[in-house]
Structure formats: structure tokens, C-alpha cells
Amino acid sequence: MTRTLYTLCGADRSRPFSPHAWKTVLSLAHKGLDHQTMPVGFTQIPVIENAATKIVPLLRDGEQLISDSFEIALYLEKTYPDRPSLFGGEGGKAMARFIESWSLMTLHTSLVRIILMDIHDSLEPVDQAYFRTAREARFGMSLEAVAETGIEEQKSFAAKLEPLRTMLKKQPFIGGETPLFADYIVFGPLQWARIVSTKRILEPGDPVIEWFERCLDLHDGAGRSVTAA
């Protein structure tokens, strides 16, 4: 069976950066499922797999096409129940939905302002034009103005991870002694920042950095397959 993961990248196709696709990369590795990665730019997404999706990640697993990282995780859990669980039961699924909401509403909304220009600058010209138009419409201001708000966001970002920092005093992963999909959810945006930006968002010695390093090392260092910016 051929398994293909479509993910988002900039001008350098060897550096896929989508935070959501990274959740899926680690989910596939968690399940021990091989795949090939197909990096695409923003403007290529509407034409992949005969216009099957408007978003990535998109996973082709044989004849199946699944988009959205959470839906992909649910699909993998159902389709490969004999492989290590991504959720550890129904309670784990419910926990992961909460973590997903917290990550999207807190971490993603802050990070995107911090690394917005880094993302833009990493793109090919055609994708830069698309990205500028789409994001300026979303924020109601220029990219440069959004980036200015990112200066204050950068100063306060570490505090947003205090719930994780406090939890890590008791266990090495969100999933407990071993990681679950909930860990990959939070890993995704931090990996996004690691790949596209040199900005320091956490200070050395932070327990969150130690957790992130453990996540980078998981599954034979899958997270380290792309180097830091």
C-alpha cells in the first residue's frame, strides 16, 4: 500500500513546516506506518488529488483520502487498532479535543503573529503574494503591522505554556509516561516556529523545551528530520 502525506512548505521543498502536518508525521510514526511526504506550496493545495482538499495535511492511504490532522489521527486509530494507540481510549480522545482547542486558540494565534514575516519570507514569490492577500484580509491590517503586534506576543508567549510546564513536574508527557496524540498537538506549533524562525520563544532551561526535545527524539528522531532555522 502506498501512503502519501501532503504537507505545506516554502521555497525549500525539503523543509515542510505545517504545524498540523507535523502532528500527522508523528502520528504515523507512532503507529509505525511508513509514508512518503509530498511538500506543496500554498497555491498548489487546491489542485492536489484532483482538488480533493483546501487544507493540508492530506493523507492518501491506499484508496482513502483524509484531511485534517485530528481526523487523520482518528482514522489511523480506527484503521490500525493493532498498532500503538494514539489516544489510549475514549478519555484520551476527549482530552485531545480539549488540547486541540487550547492549542489553536492560544498557541497558534500567538505564534502566527510572532513568526508571520518569517513564514512569508520563506515562501516562493507566487505563494508570498497569496499569503499576503489572504492574511491581510484575515487580520485586517498589513503583514508588517501584524508583525509589530508579534513583538509583544513574543514577550508573553512563554506564559501561555504554564499549564504544560506545571503538568511536566509530574509526568514526562501529556499522555503520561509515554506520548499520545495530545503531545503531538502541542508539538506541532512549536515545531512550526522551530523550522521557519530563529526567534527565541522560550528560554533555555524551560521544562517545556526539555519536553519538546523529548518529542523531537521520538520515533527515531522523526521531528529532527528537518533542522531548525
| Angle at CA of residue 69, ends 157 and 103, nearest 5° | 20
What is the per-residue pLDDT for 1?
59
31/85 Cα distance (integer angstroms): 7
Please, which residues have CB within 8 angstroms of residue 4's CB and are 6 or more apart in sequence?
A: 35, 36, 37, 38, 59, 60
Per-block mean pLDDT, blocks of 10 residues, the chain (229 long): 92 97 98 96 95 94 96 98 98 97 98 98 98 97 97 97 97 98 98 98 97 98 98
Give the bridge partners for 39, in sequence order. Answer: 7
What is the per-residue pLDDT for 50?
92
Instruction: State the alpha helices, DSSP H only, in 68-124.
Output: 69-79, 90-102, 109-122
Please, which residues have CB within 8 angstroms of residue 25's CB and are 6 or more apart in sequence?
A: 5, 7, 37, 222, 223
What is the per-residue pLDDT for 2?
81
Identify whether the C-beta of residue 115 lies closer than 8 Å to the C-beta of residue 196. yes
Q: Which residue has the cell 521544562?
A: 207
pTM: 0.97
